Structure 1
Amino acid sequence: MQAVDSPTTRPAPPGGGTEQRAAVPRPSRRRRADARVPWLLALPTLVVLVALLAYPLYRMIVLSFQNMRLRELLTGLTPSWVGFDQYEKALTDSTFWGVVGRTAGFTVVSVILSVLAGLGVALLMRRVHPKVRLAMMIAMMFVWALPQLVAAQTFRWLTDSDFGVLNYLIDKLPGVDYANHSWFVNPWQGWSLVTVLVVWAGIPFLAISLSAGLTQVPKELLEAATVDGATSRQALRNITLPILKPLLTIVTTLSVIWNFGLFTQTWVLRDGHPEPYYQTLATYSYTQAFGQSKYSYGSAIAVITVLLMLGVMVFYIRQMFKIGEVD
């Protein structure tokens, strides 16, 4: 007769009986399979991105090591190979580092304001009547669907020095003279308008995403905290924000990626000719390449921008996979 499987036992001890051997934990095959699910789900997107971006990125990198000028572009001659000269020129240029600092400063300020405003709107949406919440979501969806070019052009009309509605309304205030006022003569005022435009366009995504995340906060915890005497601020800090932390990390990282690549807003608001103090890395690379025909130098700046953003994108992807593993 075939023996029936049974737990492995050791020889009986002197006192009699049997001693069962402790089971050795083994990695679960299902757990290993679940760990591969986020990668498999992301694989189609990665394949499409590689297919669309691999060759342009390769050409940009090669061009950054050459000296492509207008003559080579028109005649089809092979540009001369200059190695790291374009990168050395960029990294030793004080103007370039000023653009980097300006871009980083704008990114930090705009992301902080966007996330705080989005979180505030999301918290408000959880407290208002469902019909009001639906109206808010529809309005924000319209804002979200508005192309950046259209939104920037609208802000440009609103702030026009001659016919802008903003100047007209401010000029109606007692003792204020804003007739024919140009908002972009002073860089602080100009960047304030750019920041308002970027924050306004970013609130819908942040508010809707965080509002969805707030539905995962157990009401029982909030009610228990209220019974224990916790204020709304304490409940937000100790209960809501820790639960929202993974989602906040994701949306904040996305905002950093989007705002760091700022181009359309400053380009349109400055009528395609942004002054030096309105240049960002994206516009600076473009103007160097196509405005001054320094194609290789512009490519080098673009490659440096990609490298600066690579760490943020890697962090974002890691956080996405961590959330998938937790789920």
Structure 2
Amino acid sequence: MALPAAEQAAPPAGPAAPGSAGAAPGRRRRRQVQPYLLLIPAVVLLAAVVGYPLIRLGVISTQGFGLRTLITGRAASVGTANYTAILHDPQLLPVLVRTVVFAATLVAGTVVIGFGAALMMVAAGRKLRVAMMLALLGAWAMPTVASTLVWQWLFQPTYGVVNWLLTQLRVFGDVRQHDFLAGTTSGFVVVWLLVVWISVPFVALTLYAGLSQIPADYYEAAAIDGAGYLRRLRTVTVPFLRPVLMLVTVLSVIWDFNVFNQIWILTKGGPDGATTTIAIWSFTQAFASQSYGQGAAIAVFSVVLLAVLVGWWVRRLVVTGEEA
């Protein structure tokens, strides 16, 4: 039987060419897998540096780990007794409230001042901008302990520069002998100023990098429409910077929630526990009271609490961004 003309003219099917569409799924799969392969070294490093200490911390929090354990190397399991003890501790609620309020004020001050410094660098000339960047990098590069000791000297009674300057300005009268770190409010203010001073450079430089990527056309179009500086800031700058603002805010929450060196060196949690945050409480419970199990339980509790707070904040920002 004769075949139709179309079938007679059709050439026999052969193997697909190497660059044909048949090989495309394989290439797509390789491209999808490659990023994960490149992330494996970082994941392994984080698992070794962060993962193991967290697991070990969780194990210690379920043990009666005390001074005797350090000598004998044996610790009895106590289950959730350490967590029950800290949940029933009368210090828990004041410490939590103090930590949250302190972290919130630190984050607000750091982001607002850092945002203002970034806007100043954008508006400044080249020489002034370079000078500002060098000053910010100098404050950021200084080790925490060294900067805290300098701050302690600045507010020292009798010889403190700040005490002398305030006395000369007649702001609060003669405060040369006044110990600002001994007061509940003034001690927190001094620690707040120090932490913000250390944290602002990262926020300012990061936001400046984000501001430098905003196209000038948008500002020109807004100016043509009659928008003033504040309106351009609200309708152009902030929407473009929202991802960067979310990043620096989340990182600031994590860092400020766990502030330890500055508080411990300046006030050691005093006076009368007025500057004791959850990080200070965990340290004193573990090393001052020799109750390492309860100290570890407080640390685990703070990690879980911080993860919940950061997760809620990120979800809120993402939902707000999608609605916008």
Quote the offset at 1:2 in angstroms. Answer: 3.6
SS at match of 2:56: helix
Question: Percentage identity across aligned positions?
Answer: 39
Shift in alpha-carbon separation, 1:186–1:67, aligned structure 2, 3 A = same
Task: State the AA in 1 paired with 2:301.
Answer: I
Shift in alpha-carbon separation, 1:37–1:51, aligned structure 2, 3 A = same
Partner of residue 79 from structure 1, selected from 75, 99, 102: 75
Asked if the contact 2:182–2:271 (Cα under 8 Å) also holds between the matched residues in 1, the reply is no
**Alignment-derived partner of residue 6 in structure 2:** none
SS at match of 1:68: coil
TM-score, length-scaled by structure 1? 0.83
Deviation by residue 1:196-221 (Cα, 9 ceiling, x = unmatched): 11111111111111001001211111
Shift in alpha-carbon separation, 1:50–1:318, aligned structure 2, 3 A = farther
Shift in alpha-carbon separation, 1:177–1:32, aligned structure 2, 3 A = farther
Note if 1:127 corresponds to 2:97: no
Q: How far apart, in 2, do the equivalents of 1:30 and 1:311 lie? A: 39
Further displaced range: 309-318 or 58-67: 309-318
Q: How far apart, in 2, do the equivalents of 1:115 and 1:187 lie? A: 25
Q: How far apart, in 1, do the equivalents of 2:137 and 2:228 lie? A: 32
Quote the offset at 1:29 in angstroms. Answer: 8.7
**Alignment-derived partner of residue 115 in structure 1:** 111
Q: How far apart, in 1, do the equivalents of 2:183 and 2:236 lie? A: 43
Note if 1:298 corresponds to 2:295: yes
**Alignment-derived partner of residue 245 in structure 2:** 248
Task: State the AA in 2 paired with 1:138.
Answer: L
TM-score, length-scaled by structure 2? 0.83
Shift in alpha-carbon separation, 1:38–1:133, aligned structure 2, 3 A = farther
Task: State the AA in 2 paired with 1:68.
Answer: F
Further displaced range: 219-228 or 172-181: 172-181
Task: State the AA in 1 paired with 2:265.
Answer: V
Quote the offset at 1:284 in angstroms. Answer: 1.0
The count of corresponding residues between Structure 1 and Structure 2 is: 297
Asked if the contact 2:157–2:163 (Cα under 8 Å) also holds between the matched residues in 1, the reply is yes
Q: How far apart, in 2, do the equivalents of 1:163 and 1:223 lie? A: 53
Asked if the contact 1:253–1:312 (Cα under 8 Å) also holds between the matched residues in 2, the reply is no
Matches within 5 A, 1:185-204: 185-204=182-201
**Alignment-derived partner of residue 98 in structure 1:** 94
Quote the offset at 1:225 in angstroms. Answer: 0.8
Shift in alpha-carbon separation, 1:190–1:218, aligned structure 2, 3 A = same
**Alignment-derived partner of residue 140 in structure 2:** 144
Deviation by residue 1:106-145 (Cα, 9 ceiling, x = unmatched): 1111101100101101011011111111111111111111
Deviation by residue 1:71-127 (Cα, 9 ceiling, x = unmatched): 232233x22221111101111222022111111111111101100101101011011
Q: How far apart, in 1, do the equivalents of 2:259 and 2:51 lie? A: 22
**Alignment-derived partner of residue 13 in structure 1:** none
Q: How far apart, in 1, do the equivalents of 2:191 and 2:226 lie? A: 43
Q: How far apart, in 2, do the equivalents of 1:195 and 1:242 lie? A: 29
Shift in alpha-carbon separation, 1:189–1:50, aligned structure 2, 3 A = same
Deviation by residue 1:13-61 (Cα, 9 ceiling, x = unmatched): xxxxxxxxxxxxxxx9988877767655544322211112333222221
**Alignment-derived partner of residue 218 in structure 1:** 215
Unaligned runs of 5+ in 2: 1-8, 14-24, 317-324
Asked if the contact 1:257–1:312 (Cα under 8 Å) also holds between the matched residues in 2, the reply is no
Task: State the AA in 1 paired with 2:59.
Answer: V
Asked if the contact 2:133–2:205 (Cα under 8 Å) also holds between the matched residues in 1, the reply is yes
Partner of residue 202 from structure 2, selected from 172, 194, 205: 205
Shift in alpha-carbon separation, 1:43–1:233, aligned structure 2, 3 A = farther
What value does the CA root-mean-square deviation take over the aligned residues?
A: 2.8
Q: How far apart, in 2, do the equivalents of 1:163 and 1:146 lie? A: 23
Deviation by residue 1:215-249 (Cα, 9 ceiling, x = unmatched): 12111110111121101000000111000000100
Q: How far apart, in 2, do the equivalents of 1:315 and 1:42 lie? A: 26
Q: How far apart, in 2, do the equivalents of 1:2 and 1:49 lie? A: 59
SS at match of 1:126: helix
